[in-house]
Amino acid sequence: MSRFVESKESDDEFHDALAEVHLHDETNLSSGTTSEGSNNTARNSSHLKTNEEIIEEITRQEEDFKLPDECEENDDENTEQDKDVSNELSKLFTDDVDVEVLREQEKKLSPEQLQQNKEESDRMKLKANELFKTDEALSAIEIYTNALHICPTTYTKERAILYGNRAAAKIKLDSKKSALDDCTKAIELWPDYVRAIIRRAKLCESEDRLEDALADYQRVCELEPSHKEAREAVSRLPEQINERNERLKTEMLSKLKDLGNMFLKPFGLSTNNFQMQQDPTTGSYSVNFQQNPR
């Protein structure tokens, strides 16, 4: 994992407890494999099964011999649970913060009350950060959102970090579009917020929006010239963009040719009867008809 070179106005000043978030949690997979390997070694070294292992085996056997009705009932329960989680996610992700309404509300508050709201939003952010670290992303999103509802609009960097952290939690839940929107809001509030720019760049790249990703990586290089990951991406992406464009062009020409053949077939013709030739002087193209193409 690459480390950010902290600038003078690093987001760490504002207690952003989140490190860089990968779109795929390879670290967890790696650690899980190591743990499993250790357990296998321990079991192989013992000739007798422990009580725990016997109980586990019995439990597995019972699960294997579930009646069909019981399996269907459990499937229904799982489906309902999935629906509940989906509805909860939808509600959280559409619960946007109306900044204009928030500003109107702030006009009625005293400076002391605004300061209290700011301090409370800081506490909520730290609590959400801890939930994020323990893989409770859904709860973290809810608290980040609540903090955005009370954090004064004048604290733009603090609000940017709330959006950036909420984006990281949404990435954990694979809600990329909503996470990308949060990254954009964070960057609008704090244009030099490197972590949010990096997160958005990765999201864009994962969605094959390579030009947008390249622009974000280039911005990171402007802010932190020694940022290794951004520099590698700036070197890598132009070639990927060209390869993708060539592939898309080939696919498009193939589809156009198929379409042309479909219309020409009733007349006993095909696109092979029409050859394009480029004028070396002007660079323009002309179409020549050939009755019997090779």
- Do 115 and 15 reside in the same domain of the chain? yes
- Contact assessment for residue 4 and residue 195, using Cβ atoms and an 8 Å cutoff: yes
**CA–CA–CA angle 224, 230, 235 (5° rounding):** 125
Q: Is the pLDDT of residue 223 over 60?
A: yes
Total domains, the chain: 2
Q: Is the pLDDT of residue 175 over 80?
A: yes
- Contact assessment for residue 144 and residue 126, using Cβ atoms and an 8 Å cutoff: no
- Do 92 and 177 reside in the same domain of the chain? yes
Of the listed ranges 63-67, 98-102, 156-160, 233-237, the least confidently predicted one is 63-67
Q: How far apart are CA 148 and CA 156, in angstroms?
A: 11
- Do 157 and 231 reside in the same domain of the chain? no
Q: Is the pLDDT of residue 194 over 80?
A: yes
Hunting for tokens 């590698």 — which residue is that? Answer: 232
Asked, for residue 14, whether it belongs to a domain, the answer is yes
- Do 164 and 227 reside in the same domain of the chain? no
Q: Is the pLDDT of residue 13 over 50?
A: no
Asked, for residue 179, whether it belongs to a domain, the answer is yes
- Contact assessment for residue 189 and residue 178, using Cβ atoms and an 8 Å cutoff: no
- Contact assessment for residue 114 and residue 152, using Cβ atoms and an 8 Å cutoff: yes
- Do 104 and 167 reside in the same domain of the chain? yes
Q: Is the pLDDT of residue 82 over 80?
A: no
- Do 89 and 170 reside in the same domain of the chain? yes
Which band of pLDDT confidence, cut at 50, 70 and 90, is reported for residue 251?
confident
Q: How far apart are CA 194 and CA 215, in angstroms?
A: 13
- Do 116 and 250 reside in the same domain of the chain? no
Chain-centroid distance, C-alpha 1: 17
Q: Is the pLDDT of residue 53 over 60?
A: no
- Do 261 and 117 reside in the same domain of the chain? no
Asked, for residue 57, whether it belongs to a domain, the answer is no
Range of the domain at 24: 9-28+77-189
Asked, for residue 33, whether it belongs to a domain, the answer is no
Q: Once rounded to an integer, what is the mean pLDDT over residues 211-232?
A: 97
pLDDT of residue 54: 46
- Do 240 and 129 reside in the same domain of the chain? no
pLDDT of residue 9: 39
Q: Once rounded to an integer, what is the mean pLDDT over residues 190-204?
A: 98
Q: Is the pLDDT of residue 45 over 60?
A: no
Q: How far apart are CA 274 and CA 263, in angstroms?
A: 14
pLDDT of residue 266: 82
Asked, for residue 102, whether it belongs to a domain, the answer is yes
Asked, for residue 150, whether it belongs to a domain, the answer is yes
DSSP 79-95: HHHHHHHHHHHHHHHT-
Q: How far apart are CA 137 and CA 88, in angstroms?
A: 12
pLDDT of residue 94: 57
Most confident of 41-50, 66-75, 275-284: 275-284
Asked, for residue 38, whether it belongs to a domain, the answer is no
Tell me what percent of the residues of the chain surpass a pLDDT of 90. 49
Q: Is the pLDDT of residue 95 over 80?
A: no
CATH number at residue 23: 1.25.40
> Within a 10 A sphere around the Cβ of 219, how many other Cβ atoms?
19
- Do 16 and 152 reside in the same domain of the chain? yes
β-bridge partners, 277: 286
Asked, for residue 44, whether it belongs to a domain, the answer is no
- Do 159 and 242 reside in the same domain of the chain? no
Q: How far apart are CA 27 and CA 229, in angstroms?
A: 17
Q: Is the pLDDT of residue 141 over 80?
A: yes
Rg of the chain over Cα atoms, rounded to whole angstroms, equals 28
Close Cβ partners of 127 (under 8 Å, ≥ 6 residues apart): 143
- Do 176 and 250 reside in the same domain of the chain? no
